Amino acid sequence: MKIIVATRNPGKVGEFQAMLGRLGYDVESLLDYDTAPETEETGSTFEENAELKSKEAAAYFGHAVLSDDSGLEVDALDGAPGVYSARFAGENKSDAANNALLLEKLADTPADQRTARFVCALSLAKPSGETLTVRGTMEGQIGFEQKGTSGFGYDPLFLIPALNQTAAELTKSEKAAISHRGQALKKLEAALTTFLGE
């Protein structure tokens, strides 16, 4: 059983391969298909962007496609960077630049006001255009400095208070058990077989 994941982000591909692999799915991604279209993310919500990507790719491939739109919502920044998380510091999509800008914007924000959450919307689309979309979240707060070398994106700044560790200090399996992507995938898993008719 194959699922194509509509992303070229190696970090996301690795997480999906680990999570879906244990369910018996072979996971391919846009990294395996040079000519696959790059969907313009024009939605105003994570769900809208995820559905845009999954529908376009499913129509292109003629196969079930899973897409993810995820990002960081910081309460002190009125939910920013939100759907602009990957390009927070500009179109070049640099994790280092994004993290530096986030620290700069929160420089005068005390610890108790640095609450945030990671959000992940997953959309599974059939070539017919039918979609199944779910959301997962992981609550935490933004640290004052980067810690940890695992993960990607904002993980080194995202502190999980109950563990007193950042997402980048967790192993892949520890992160998958509690992450926004892991939570969304659990919801998807419950309906996956019925939706795909397998």
CATH number at residue 164: 3.90.950.10
Half-sphere exposure (Cβ direction) of 126: Cα atoms closer than 13 Å: 11
Q: What is the pLDDT of residue 198?
A: 58
Spatial separation of the C-alpha atoms in residues 6 and 140, rounded to whole Å: 27
For residue 28, give every residue at least 6 positions away whose Cβ sits within 8 Å of its Cβ, in sequence order, or none: 2, 3, 4, 5
Q: Which regions of the chain are under pLDDT 50?
A: none
pTM of the full predicted structure? 0.89
Phi, psi of 22 (to 5 degrees): -70, -15
Residue-wise pLDDT for 124-140, tens only, equals 999 999 999 999 999 99
Q: How many domains are there within the chain?
A: 1
Residue 74 identity (one-letter amino acid):
V
- From the candidates 69, 78, 95, 108, give the one annotated as an active-site residue: 69
Find the domain containing 129 and state its range.
2-196
- Tell me if residue 155 is catalytic: no
Pairing type for strands 2-5 and 65-74 reads: parallel
For residue 32, give every residue at least 6 positions away whose Cβ sits within 8 Å of its Cβ, in sequence order, or none: none
